[in-house]
A = this chain, B = another copy of it.
Amino acid sequence: MTTENLVQQIKLKKSMLCVGLDVDLEKIPQHLLKLDDPIFEFNKEIIKATADFAVAYKPNLAFYEAYGLKGWKSLEKTISFLQENYPNIFTIADAKRGDIGNTSRMYAKAFFEDLGFDSVTVAPYMGKDSVEPFLEFPEKHVIMLGLTSNQGSEDFQLSKIENDTYLFEKIMQKSKTWNNSERLMYVVGATKPEYLKIIRKHLPKSFLLVPGVGAQGGNLDEVCKYGMSDNYGLLINSSRGIIYKSSGTDFAEAARNEAKAMQQKMEKYF
């Protein structure tokens, strides 16, 4: 998918909502557990219920790998379901991968070619040659960790380095010089809105994937206020806050209502 396609969806739906599909068998409605593939059934209902308000879906790979072969099968079915029924919605493999070149290339093949995701999240620690292999795929996007939403982001990301810049700033600056960097996006946690101004100085046009609204306590209004760019430039993620809104048989409707409420909060910034 091109960036233009994504921007069109955002404009059409007046929404920057990304729904995180972090499916945990201990948290989904118990009546689904008797079905053959509870994870896929849960995802399917959540997607159908929220697709009017969402411009992206983001399965978190850990939650599928934790169920081994079965989990991987549920992931394959989920991405196929999205591609067949909602080809205009952006898909993100939240995998946070990154390794030496030949290994990164194998991960890229797995997520872009075999599974067919539009984008994948990657970690920056190993530098340029660990990220560029992901950027070689036309119309595919790479979402690199910038400033994350968790407390541990303060351990290293906020270290001051040469010229009094933060490590995360150096990563953003440097990555702009990499091959195909126009298809790079960045993860910036909603729990740190005070840094969004600095980040927009470095990255005036890049899309930011913003987790941490909802269960982690980030403020949606502040994120929109300081984070939006000329072409919207935000994908605001909520996972647990939407998909586990209800654990009863009304879980899909409850998720829909929550997604709608978030979309309505965003609408005023359009």
Identify which of A22, A126, A161, A174 gathers the most chain B CB atoms within 10 Å of its CB.
A126
Asked, given contacts A127-B152, A155-B127, whether A106 binds B167 with beta carbons under 8 Å apart, the answer is no
- Check: A69 CB closer than 8 A to any chain B CB: yes
Contacts of A161 on B, CB cut-off 8 Å? 159-161, 167
With both chains docked as a complex, state the minimum distance between the C-beta of A165 and any C-beta of chain B, in angstroms: 10
Is B62 within 8 A of A110, CB to CB? yes
Is B96 within 8 A of A97, CB to CB? yes
Copies held by the complex: 2
Is B62 within 8 A of A150, CB to CB? no
Please provide the chain A residues from 4 to 63 with a CB less than 8 Å away from any CB of chain B in the complex.
Answer: 22, 24, 60, 62-63
With both chains docked as a complex, state the minimum distance between the C-beta of A229 and any C-beta of chain B, in angstroms: 24
Q: Complex: how many Å from CA A55 to CA B216?
A: 42
Fill in one digit per residue for A123-138: 1 if any B CB lies within 8 Å of its CB, else 0: 1111111110000000
Please provide the chain A residues from 119 to 158 with a CB less than 8 Å away from any CB of chain B in the complex.
Answer: 123-131, 145, 148-157
- In the complex, residue of chain B having the shortest beta-carbon distance to the beta carbon of A105: B62
Q: Complex: how many Å from CA A160 to CA B167?
A: 10
- Check: A192 CB closer than 8 A to any chain B CB: no
Contacts of A211 on B, CB cut-off 8 Å? 100
- Check: A226 CB closer than 8 A to any chain B CB: no
Is A106 within 8 A of B66, CB to CB? yes
Asked, given contacts A107-B66, A167-B156, whether A127 binds B150 with beta carbons under 8 Å apart, the answer is yes
With both chains docked as a complex, state the minimum distance between the C-beta of A162 and any C-beta of chain B, in angstroms: 6
Contacts of A63 on B, CB cut-off 8 Å? 103, 106
Out of B65, B99, B114, B127, name the residue touching A106 (CB < 8 Å): B65
- Check: A266 CB closer than 8 A to any chain B CB: no
- In the complex, residue of chain B having the shortest beta-carbon distance to the beta carbon of A63: B106
Report which A residues bind B (CB closer than 8 A).
22, 24, 60, 62-63, 65-69, 72-73, 76, 94, 96-104, 106-107, 109-110, 114-115, 123-131, 145, 148-157, 159-162, 167, 170-171, 174, 211, 216
Q: Which 10 A-B pairs have the closest CB atoms?
A: A127-B152, A127-B155, A62-B106, A129-B152, A65-B110, A66-B106, A100-B150, A66-B110, A128-B152, A62-B107
Q: Given known contacts A68-B76, A161-B161, A167-B167, what 15 new A-B pairs fall within 8 Å (CB)?
A: A62-B110, A68-B115, A96-B97, A100-B211, A123-B123, A123-B126, A124-B125, A124-B156, A125-B145, A126-B152, A127-B151, A127-B156, A130-B150, A159-B167, A160-B161
